[in-house]
A and B are shown apart, each in its own frame.
Chain A
Amino acid sequence: MKSSIVIVSFFLLGLLFGHFEIIPISAVDNDLSLFALCCLMFCVGLSLGNDSNMLKRFTMINPRFYWLPVATIVGTLLGCAMISFLLPGRSIMESMAVGSGFGYYSLSSIFITEYKGAELGAIALISNIFREIMALLLAPLFVKYFGKLAPIAVGGATTMDTTLPIILKISGKEFAVISLFHGFILDLSVPVLVTIFCAF
């Protein structure tokens, strides 16, 4: 939670700097942010590939639960596709690109800004922050009405770190490895799906 606040503070700081023209926007050209993004993705990949214990643990999961990340992705995208008809000026692809953040607001907003501009990037940032907050605060409600897997599905890409403690508390400790596995797959899917939906 503390690290989330720091991340959002950096966004707000940039907002102020940009609004009051303390740093001219021309000072930061597009190549620099793309370069930083590529460095970031390399490091993210490095940390995922380097964690060999994680991969070993995944073999202990009951195969039926391998479908959970698929359910999360399909459910999220269907919801976003349907709601886009109610949003004037927002295409299906844009709505699904925002949804493909799965709560990973930092990465998804950075990607969408790079490909689609700052407006949709801002929507992605706010929307995915909302998703993480809902996953944290409403987990008891989701368990009650949608079953024990729902807090994990709603947590999206965050079930490996920020929302893991609350999931263990609400759904039960036996969901620890499933939650980690789910977060791992969703983390990987964010850049891929966001890029695909931004390409159209």
Chain B
Amino acid sequence: MFIAIGFMVLGTLFGFLLRKKEFKNISKIITLLIWFLLFILGLEVGANPQIISGITSIGIEALVITLAAVTGSAVAALLLWKHINNRRKDFHEE
């Protein structure tokens, strides 16, 4: 399962070691691979009648998870923002 992450670590190391070299086509290759893989994902979803018939509930579920994720991260950002500003105030008062 962790094999894909292993490849990313390997790539990062490679990229860092060869940082004087420029890889011009790398973003094109990334885009092509993403197109290919998402095409396959579409293929799998399209060929699965259970998913197609339940696409409304899948969409609603996706939206609910997104709202939770977005709200959670926004609240966390607010707490950090307040914390940083409070410390700034303390600093000025000292």
Contacts and interface: CB of A to CB of B under 8 A. Distances in A.
B46 A19 contact: yes
B77 A147 contact: yes
Interface of A: 3, 6-8, 10-21, 23, 25, 28, 33-34, 36-52, 64-65, 67-68, 71-72, 74-80, 82-83, 86-87, 90, 95, 98-99, 102, 106-107, 109-111, 113-115, 118-119, 121-128, 130-131, 134-135, 142, 145-150, 152-154, 156, 188, 191-192, 195, 198-199
Given A12-B42, A49-B15, 6 more contacts: A7-B35, A17-B39, A20-B46, A43-B33, A145-B74, A192-B5
A39 B40 CA distance: 15
B77 A41 contact: no
A72 B76 contact: yes
A25 B61 contact: no
B37 A37 contact: yes
A99 B68 contact: yes
A198 B78 contact: no
B66 A46 contact: no
A50 B47 contact: no
17 contacts: A7-B35, A10-B38, A14-B43, A25-B44, A39-B33, A40-B34, A41-B7, A42-B7, A49-B11, A49-B13, A78-B72, A79-B73, A99-B68, A122-B45, A123-B65, A154-B77, A198-B1
A149 B13 contact: no
A76 B48 CA distance: 30
Q: Is the interface of B mostly helix, strand, loop or mixed?
A: helix
Nearest to A156: B73
Q: Is the interface of A mostly helix, strand, loop or mixed?
A: helix
B36 A36 contact: yes
Given A37-B4, A152-B77, A121 B45 contact: yes
A10 B27 CA distance: 17
A23 B43 CA distance: 8
B48 A191 contact: no
B69 A80 contact: yes
Contacts of A98: 62, 65
Nearest to B5: A191
Contacts of A99: 65, 68-69
Contact of A6 (B15, B35, B62, B66): B35
Contacts of B41: 11, 14, 109-110, 113, 118, 121-122, 125
B46 A43 contact: no
Contacts of B31: 3
